[in-house]
Amino acid sequence: MGRPQRFSRLGRRPRSGAAVLPYLLVLPTVFFVAVFTLWPTVRVAYDSLFLQNEAVQVPQFTGLGNYAALFADPAFRQVLFNTVIYVIVTVPISVALALVIALALNRRLRALGLFRLAFFYPAILPMVSAATIWLFMYAPGYGLVNVFLGILHLPGQNWLGSPDLALFALMIVGVWKQTGYFMIFYLAGLQGLSREIFEAADLDGASAIQTVRHITLPLLAGMTLFVTTIAVVNGFETVDQTYIMTGGGPTNATTMLLFDIWQTLFSFFDLGKASAMSVILIAVLLIFTVVNFSHLERRATYE
């Protein structure tokens, strides 16, 4: 009787070690998330409750005063409007174009690798380089965009100097830059789908449009959830091309939220207001992510 009891005790040790092992494996990730994500978020939320700028020597507690001042400022409301419009326009266009291009390139074509590289190349360009290229293309008079308009006998425009056109010009750059990046995800998703489903649809006489609508899109719902989340986050983090191409002008027409945060902190040295804007940005992204996942996750199909 003693021997079975000894074996049972020895058997418990591996099970207890196996129970602890997953926590040990996750511990480094938890540490980095806590140090580089959770703690900065808590600290930013704390700093947003104080007046901290060059005019205030000692930080003064103001509660929600920074938030009230921001939403009472017409310039900040314009920044929010610019950011929301930029995201609403660029995200659907980028995602839709990425899906269309992925569908077109997910087949046997001559020089297929060259076509994929051509569409993906803007994604690997640094944003500074891409913005510089488009800065030349938008140049009044000799820019390629106005030259092309002249060929069509249309008047040239001051794309980056007009308050009505500057934000639209930045949207074009954003769509051009990120469409190829999203295309890669859709290509990976398409190549992971079972070919038997499409062969069965073809035998049933389904058209190409019906196949895409009723089979491809539902099967790619999980990928669409992932891509749209990344696209929205990228849209709210737009700063490089704004800094290089317009500097937020003209007349605040292209200033967006992250660029305004950077400018408020490093140009005006207003830590309290910049922290409040950061909390607003985090809250908006968190709300969108939760809503997006709760809405699309139920319809997503994973294999």
Q: How confident is the model at residue 297 (pLDDT cuts 50, 70, 90)?
A: low
Residue 59: what pLDDT? 87
User: What is the extent of the structural domain holding 39?
Assistant: 13-47
Q: In this structure, are 30 and 123 located in the same domain?
A: no
Half-sphere exposure of 61 (CA within 13 A, CB side): 2
185 Cα distance to chain centroid: 14
Q: In this structure, are 42 and 149 located in the same domain?
A: no
Q: In this structure, are 142 and 21 located in the same domain?
A: no
Residue 141: what pLDDT? 81
Residues making up the chain, counted from first to last? 303
Q: How confident is the model at residue 14 (pLDDT cuts 50, 70, 90)?
A: low
φ/ψ bin of 251: left (φ > 0), alpha (ψ from -120 to 50), beta (otherwise): left
Say if residue 185's pLDDT is above 90.
yes
The string of pLDDT tens digits covering residues 262-284 is: 999 998 899 999 999 999 999 99
Residue 53: what pLDDT? 85
Residue 56: what pLDDT? 81
The string of pLDDT tens digits covering residues 26-67 is: 999 999 999 998 999 999 999 999 998 888 878 899 999 999
Does residue 20 lie within any of the structural domains? yes
Q: Are 87 and 235 in contact (CB under 8 A)?
A: yes
Residue 43: what pLDDT? 94
Residue 16: what pLDDT? 60
Say if residue 298's pLDDT is above 70.
no
Q: How confident is the model at residue 110 (pLDDT cuts 50, 70, 90)?
A: confident
Does residue 189 lie within any of the structural domains? yes
- Average predicted confidence (pLDDT) for the chain: 87
CATH number of the CATH domain containing 98: 1.10.3720.10
Close Cβ partners of 137 (under 8 Å, ≥ 6 residues apart): 143, 144, 145
Q: In this structure, are 151 and 284 located in the same domain?
A: yes
Structure-token pair, residue 234? 């990228």
Q: Is 293 exposed, middle or buried (0-12, 13-18, 19+ CB in 10 A)?
A: middle
Nearest C-alpha neighbor of 275 from the set 56, 47, 39: 47
Q: In this structure, are 38 and 127 located in the same domain?
A: no
Q: How confident is the model at residue 215 (pLDDT cuts 50, 70, 90)?
A: confident
Higher pLDDT, 166 or 222: 166
Q: How far apart are CA 280 and CA 302, in angstroms?
A: 33
Residue 234 to residues 9, 116, 209, 263, 271: CA-CA distances in angstroms?
Answer: 54, 22, 30, 18, 24
Residue 262: what pLDDT? 93
Q: In this structure, are 134 and 278 located in the same domain?
A: yes
Any idea what the Cα angle at residue 92 is, between residues 224 and 216, rounded to 5°? 35
Kindly report which listed range (27-36, 110-119, 228-237) carries the lowest average pLDDT score. 110-119
Kindly report which listed range (51-55, 81-85, 133-137) carries the lowest average pLDDT score. 51-55
Does residue 267 lie within any of the structural domains? yes
Structure-token pair, residue 61? 């507690």
Kindly report which listed range (4-8, 16-20, 164-168, 215-219) carries the lowest average pLDDT score. 4-8
As for how many domains the chain has, the answer is: 2
Q: How confident is the model at residue 15 (pLDDT cuts 50, 70, 90)?
A: low
Q: In this structure, are 161 and 32 located in the same domain?
A: no
Average pLDDT in the 146-163 region?
91
Say if residue 9's pLDDT is above 70.
no
Q: In this structure, are 132 and 244 located in the same domain?
A: yes
Q: In this structure, are 36 and 162 located in the same domain?
A: no
Average pLDDT in the 99-110 region?
85
